[in-house]
Structure formats: structure tokens, C-alpha cells
Amino acid sequence: MEGPILDIKIMLIGASSSGKTSLRKRFFRDTFTLLHEPTVGCDFDLRKEKGSKLQMWDHRGGETFWNYTKRVLHRFDAFVFVFSVAERHTFEYMQKLIRDIQECQGKDKCKLIVGNKVDKKDAREVSFEEAQMLAQEHGMGYTEASALDGFNVQECFDQLIRDLTEEQMSKKGQAVNLIDTSDTEKKCSICC
Ligand SMILES: Nc1nc2c(ncn2[C@@H]2O[C@H](COP(=O)(O)OP(=O)(O)O)[C@@H](O)[C@H]2O)c(=O)[nH]1
Ligand SMILES: [Mg+2]
């Protein structure tokens, strides 16, 4: 049996308590809880549709488990860095994680930074401008969301998935084109 045409794997990375699991659950199940159940190592959600498979993992970084995860990072298509706009230490820690990932995976797959918990308006500790500047420095997009009230959660992941879909389709297209081109060249060299 043939596998899915699209197979997208996204990993959310950020400090503990920045809201990675909450964003994932809001996106996949439209649920939210105020309880913080620390993710043990990694956890993920999976959505299978005809011809496509989407996996979203989340990882808190900084643990011994990270050493294992580093070995499988190359299997992911995109890394999304999450911090809480209301907890500056999560922004600082995320910068270390960005450096870590870029060191072992390069920049290409580092796609997006999400400033979560924007519902905490009066407690904001990181401005939109500062986070956007950091994202620009690293060649990533920046967006803000709230897993609590759902603000912008669907939109930011939908956009990322659209971009990754296009990327995968164009890679497949290129593969087909390559075959076509060589075929044409062969025919050409035969007829010339
Ligand atoms: N106010 C607010 N709290 C949030 C938001 N997202 C997550 N939380 C809370 O922050 C805590 C940590 O969330 P969690 O998703 O477990 O963080 P993780 O450790 O990064 O996976 C929990 O108590 C959540 O209820 C948000 O958008 N707004
Ligand atoms: Mg978690």
C-alpha cells in the first residue's frame, strides 16, 4: 500500500510552561486546561487525512531526553519556537534553544517563533517588536497567539502547514521535472 503523499512533521520547542502542549491541544482538539502537566520528554498529536499525514510534537528542551531527541531532529520538517510573552525567562531560554537547533540542524527548518499567552495583556514582559526583531535576525516568521482563548492558533499553524505543503509539493514536482528533463535530454541526444 502506498504511504501518504504529504508527510509533515512539526516540532514545538520552548521552555517548560511556555504553552507548547496547550497550543498543540488547542490546534488539534480545540481544548484548553489551566492545569500544567509537564510533558515527559516528548508528546505528539497526529492527523491523518486522505493523502496526508501531519504530526506535531512538543519538547521542553534542556533535559537529558534532549540528547536522544537531537538524534532524530533531522526527521522533522519544521521547528516552531514557543515562548510566553508574559514570562521573560521563557524568551531568554528560547534563544538558547534556537542556537542549539541551528547548530545541529541549520537555519532552513527553523520556521516560526510564536509568542504565546497574549491574553495576559497587563503582564506582558516581551514586546511584539523585540520578538519580531529576534525572529528577523534568525530568518524566521513571528506571530502571537493565545492557547487560552484560541486567538490566532489555527491561523498561525494553518499558514505554516500551507507553506510546508507547498515546499513538499515543489520538491516532488522538482523530482518529477528532473525525470522529465533527463528524459527529454536523452531523446534530444538520440535525435541530434
Ligand atoms: N493565560 C494563559 N495561560 C496559558 C496559555 N497557554 C498555556 N497556558 C498555561 O500555562 C501553563 C503551561 O502550559 P503548557 O501547555 O503545559 O506548557 P508547556 O510546558 O510548554 O507544554 C498551563 O497552566 C497552561 O494552562 C495561554 O495562552 N494563556
Ligand atoms: Mg508540555
What are the pLDDT tens digits along the chain (192 aa)? 566 688 999 999 999 899 999 999 999 999 998 887 776 667 889 999 888 899 999 876 565 656 777 788 899 999 999 999 999 999 999 999 999 899 988 999 999 999 999 999 999 999 999 999 999 999 999 999 999 999 999 999 999 999 999 999 888 776 655 544 444 333 323 222
- Ligand 1 centroid, distance to 93 Cα (angstroms): 16
Task: Please indicate whether residue 18, judged by its CB atom, sits closer than 6 Å to ligand 1.
Answer: yes
CATH dotted code for 6-169: 3.40.50.300
Looking from the CA of residue 147, the nearest atom of ligand 1 is 27
Residue 192 CA to residue 190 CA, distance in Å, equals: 6
Task: Please indicate whether residue 43, judged by its CB atom, sits closer than 6 Å to ligand 1.
Answer: no
Q: How many residues does the structure list for the chain?
A: 192
Model confidence pTM above 0.85: yes
Task: Please indicate whether residue 55, judged by its CB atom, sits closer than 6 Å to ligand 1.
Answer: no
User: Which runs of E-coded beta strand occur in 37-162?
Assistant: 42-49, 52-59, 78-84, 110-116, 141-144
Task: Please indicate whether residue 17, judged by its CB atom, sits closer than 6 Å to ligand 1.
Answer: yes
Joined grid coordinates for residue 80: 516552531
Give pLDDT, residue 92.
Answer: 97
Give pLDDT, residue 96.
Answer: 93
Neighbouring C-beta atoms of residue 154, cutoff 10 Å: 13
Domain ranges of the chain: 6-169
